[in-house]
Structure 1
Amino acid sequence: MKIGIHHRKGSFSDRWIEFLEQKNIPYVILNAFDNDIIKQIKENKVTHFMWHFNQNYFEDMLHARTLFRAISQVGIKTFPNEDSYWHFDDKVAQKYLLEALDIPLVKADVFYHRNEAEKYIENASFPKVFKLKGGAGSINVKLVKTKEQARRIVNQAFGGGFNAFDSKAIFKDTIERFSRQKSLHNFLRIIKWGFKGIFVDQQYKVFPKQKNYIYFQEFIPDLKYDIRLIVIGNKCYFLKRNTRDNDFRASGSGMLEFAPGKFNLEAVNIAFKAAKKLNMLCVAYDFIFDANDQPLVVEISYGFQPYVYDRCLGFYDQNLHWTETQVNLEYEIINNFLNEISLIQ
C-alpha cells in the first residue's frame, strides 16, 4: 500500500500527512495538476490517492473529478470516491440524488426553461428560498418574499445570469460576524474580504456565470438553528449553527455550539442510513426541522472546513449512544479510508 496525496496547506491533507508519518505508512506528495500526473502515480506505485479538493478553487472543480475517474479505472482507490464527488457543491444534483434514494429533504423545485419557471411562480406561495447550485456558507442563498421578486430573479437567471460567488455578500457577512465577535482575527478577515468585496477576487472571476436554470426551496419559518451532522464510518459528529440576527440562514453565521442539546435523534439515524445508501465514507449533512420536528436534509458534502470540528465534544454511534471524546476528523477520514470500511454491508 502506498498513498498519493495532493497537498494544500490548510486542507485535510495537513493531518493526513501527519497521520501517515505517525503510522509509518508509505506515501508520496504529488501535484495533481502536473501534466504527467498519471505517469507519476504509476511510477510511484500508488494504491490510494487522496485530495481534499475545494469548491472555491476553479481549477479543483475543473480537474479533480476527471483525474479521480481516470485513476479509478486502473484500480486505484480514491478519497473522495465517485459516489462522494460527482454531486459535490451542486445543490441541484443533490436534490435528484436524495429524491432517488428516498432520503427526507427540504422540498426543492428546479426549472430549466423560463416559461415553466414563470408558471411555477404564478401558482406558488411565497416566501421561497432561492439558491445557486454552488457556494458554501449561505453566500448564494436569498429569501424571495414576493412573486414580483421571484420574477426578477427568473429574468436574471434566464438573462445575464448570476456571478458564481457573491463577494459583497461575503464581505457583509464578515462585518456582521465582527460586530458579534470583535477580534483581531475577524478584523483582518474584514480587510481581506473588503478587497474581495470591492474588487472581486480574480480567483472567483474565472467561474462561469450561473444561468439558464432556477432553483427554489421551500421556506421553513421560525428557524433558530440548523445542525451539521458528519458521519465518518461508524461515528456521527454534531455541531449546532444558530441563525444570524433577523435572518433565516445558519450556515456561515459563525454562531456555533458543540454540546449536543435536545433535538430529534432521528436525524442521526437518518444520517447513518443515508451514508450507506450514498456509499460515502464521509458525509456532512445540514439538517433543519419542520413544524412537526421532523428532520429534513438541506444539502450534503464530502468535505468541510478543517479544524473547526476539533471543538466537537464526541460522537454518536449507530445505536444513537453518545460518547464524549477528543475529536480529529481528518484522522478519522484517513483511518477509515485505509481500512476500507464498507458502508454497504
Structure 2
Amino acid sequence: MTNIKVGIIRNELSNTADDWIIACNNRNIDYQVIDLSANNWLEQVRKDNFVFYLIQPPGSYERFKTMFDERLYIICNEFRLKTFPSFTESIIYENKKMLSYYLNAHNIPHPETFIFYNYDEAKNFVDNTELPFVAKTSIGASGSGVKIIRKYNEALRYINDAFKSKGIRRRFGPNRVTGSPQKWAKKSIREPSYFLKRLKYYLEINRNTQFGYVIFQTFIPHNYEWRIVKIGEFYFAHKKIKIKDKASGAKVKQFGFPDISVMDFVEDLCNQNNFNCVCLDIFESGTGFLVNEIQCVFGIPYGYLSKVNDKIGRFVKHQGTWTFEEGDFTQNNCCDLKLEIALKLYFENKL
C-alpha cells in the first residue's frame, strides 16, 4: 500500500501521533504528521495529496478542543476531506454540551441534560429540581469534572462559582477512586521526571476553569455502566463497576459475554448514525438503555477490552448472531485495528 499517503492530524501534544505512526509503519503506509495547533495548520493540511486523515482530537483543555473542532470543521465541511474518526465522532468527543445537543437532535435516549448560560435560569432549576442531580464540566474524562449535587446549599455554591466567582474547577491530582497517596508517592520517588510532568499537567487543569455556564443532568442510580467499543464491524464490551458514586473513572471491570440486548442497542444506534470508531458508556434504567458518553478516544487500562472464559478477544455479529472471536485485537491502543477499518472504508468509498 505504498502508493497511498495519509495525513496524521495530532493535537497540541507532540506524542499524540505516535500510535498512528506505529500503525502506518506496520502496514508500510506513507504518512505525514500535521500539527493542527500550529499557525500554519492549513498549509500543512493542503501540502500533499493525502487520501484521508487519521485524527487524534484533544481531551484535556477546553481551549484546545475548541481550536481542534473549529479547524476540523474547515477540513471536513469546507474542503470535504475525509477523516477517521469522522467529524461527528470527533466533535462530540469531550464536549458534553455538543453531545447533549446531538443526542437530543437524533432522539437517542440519554439522561436528561440541562445547559444554562444564564444564572437566573440555573437558579430556577436548582430551586425546583429534586435532589440529587449531576453537575458536569464540558470536558473531563475518567469522572473528572463530575459532581453529584446532594444538598441545596451545595447547588447554590456551584452556580455561584460558575457565574459569579472563580468558575468550576475539575479534580486536582490523580483519580482518588482508583489510586492511593502511597502508590503515587512511591512512583514519584522512582520517577521524578514523571512526577514533574504530571504536576505540570494537574496545575494546568486547575487553571482551566469553566465559567459562565453549567451542565446539569438527571441522576441515574446505577451499580455499573456498560462500556461498548465499536471499531468498524467489531465490538468490545465489558461492565464498569461503580466505586463510591461513579462508574466513570473506576478501573474495576467485569468481563464476560455481554447481554445481547445492549449489543443490539449499540449496533442499531451506530448504524443509524454512521459511527465507525466510538466508545459508548451506557446506563440501564427502568425505561431502557441510556447513553451517558460517546467518545472516539478511549483508554485500555488492562491491555484488553473484552474477555470471555479467560480468553481476550472481540465480538462480531455473524448471520444475526453475536459471536466471540479470540485474539489480541487492541494492540497499539487499537490503532492497528482502526487503520485497518479506515482503509477498508476508504477502498469501499464509505469513508
> Normalising to structure 1: TM-score of the pair?
0.82
Q: Is the 8 A contact 1:284 1:301 kept in 2?
A: yes
Structure 2 unaligned spans of 5+: 307-311
Aligned length: 333
Unaligned runs of 5+ in 1: none
| Matching residue of 1:314 | 313
Aligned residue for 1:102, secondary structure, equals coil
Letter of the structure 1 residue corresponding to residue 43 of structure 2: K
Determine which of 237, 251, 261 is the counterpart of 1:254: 251
**2:262 aligned with 1:267, yes or no?**
yes
Q: Which residue does the alignment assign to 2:5?
A: 2
1:38 and 1:53, CA in 2 relative to 1: closer, same or farther beyond 3 A? same
Q: Does 1:90 align with 2:77?
A: no
Q: Which residue of 2 aligns with 1:219?
A: 219
CA-atom RMSD in angstroms: 3.4
Which sits farther off after the overlay, 124-133 or 84-93?
Answer: 84-93
How far apart are 1:320 and its partner, in Å? 5.3
Residue 138 of structure 1 deviates from its aligned partner by: 0.8
- In 2: Cα distance, 1:189 partner to 1:16 partner: 27
| One-letter amino acid matched to 1:269 | D
Q: Normalising to structure 2: TM-score of the pair?
A: 0.81
What is the letter of the counterpart of residue 251 of structure 1?
S
* Whole-Å separation in 1 of the counterparts to 2:184 and 2:170: 26
Q: State how far apart, in whole Å, the 2-side matches of 1:316 and 1:161 are.
A: 46
From the superposition, tell whether residues 60 and 320 of structure 1 become closer, same or farther in structure 2 (CA, over 3 Å). farther
Change (3 A) 1:121 1:242: same
Query: Which of the numbers 295, 320, 345 marks the counterpart of 1:301?
Result: 295
**Alignment partner of 1:35 out of 19, 34, 39:** 39
On the 8 A contact 2:251/2:301 being kept in 1, the answer is: no
Cα gap change, 1:191 to 1:5, in 2 (>3 Å): closer
Write the letter of the residue equivalent to 1:98.
Answer: L
Q: Quote the sequence identity (%).
A: 20
Letter in 1 for 2:323: W
Structure 1 residue 243 corresponds to structure 2 residue 242: yes
**Is the 1:89–1:134 contact (alpha carbons within 8 Å) kept by the matching residues of 2?**
yes
Name the CA shift for 1:28/1:200 in 2 (closer, same or farther; >3 Å): closer
The Cα of 1:290 is off from its aligned counterpart by: 1.6
**Paired AA for residue 64 in structure 1:** F
- SS in structure 1 at match of 2:53: strand
- Whether 1:70 and 2:74 are equivalent positions in the alignment is yes
Q: 1:120 to 1:33 in 2, by over 3 A?
A: closer
Kept after mapping to 2: 8 A contact 1:279/1:344 = no
Contact 2:228 2:235 in 1 (8 A): yes
- Give the superposition deviation at 1:286: 0.7
Matches of 1:77 and 1:45, distance apart in 2: 12
The answer to whether the 8 Å contact 1:161/1:212 transfers is no
Checking the alignment, whether the CA contact within 8 Å between 2:231 and 2:277 is kept in structure 1 is: yes
Q: How does 1:148-227 map to 2 (within 5 A)?
A: 148-167=153-172, 170-171=173-174, 173-174=175-176, 177-178=179-180, 201-204=202-205, 207=208, 209-221=209-221, 223-227=222-226
In 2, Cα distance between equivalents of 1:252 and 1:25: 35
The residue type paired with residue 316 of structure 2 is D
Give me the whole-angstrom Cα distance separating, in 2, the residues matched to 1:181 and 1:265: 39
- Structure 1 residues 154 and 66: alpha-carbon distance in aligned structure 2, compared to 1, 3 A threshold: closer
**CA deviations over 1:152-196 (Å, ceiling 9, x no partner):** 2122222125345321xx43x347523898996598699967996
**Structure 1 residue identity aligned to 2:204:** Q
Q: Note the C-alpha offset of 1:144.
A: 0.9
Where 1:162 maps in the other structure, the secondary structure is coil
Residue from 14, 21, 25 that aligns with 1:21? 25
Deviation for aligned residue 1:303: 1.0
1:15–1:76: structure 2 CA closer, same or farther, 3 Å change rule? same
| Paired amino acid for 1:296 | L
Per-residue Cα deviation, 1:57-93 (whole angstroms, up to 9, x for no partner) = 5664243223323333334312232212222211122
Alignment check: 8 A CA contact 1:279 1:343 kept: no
- Determine if contact 1:280/1:302 at 8 Å carries over to the other structure: no
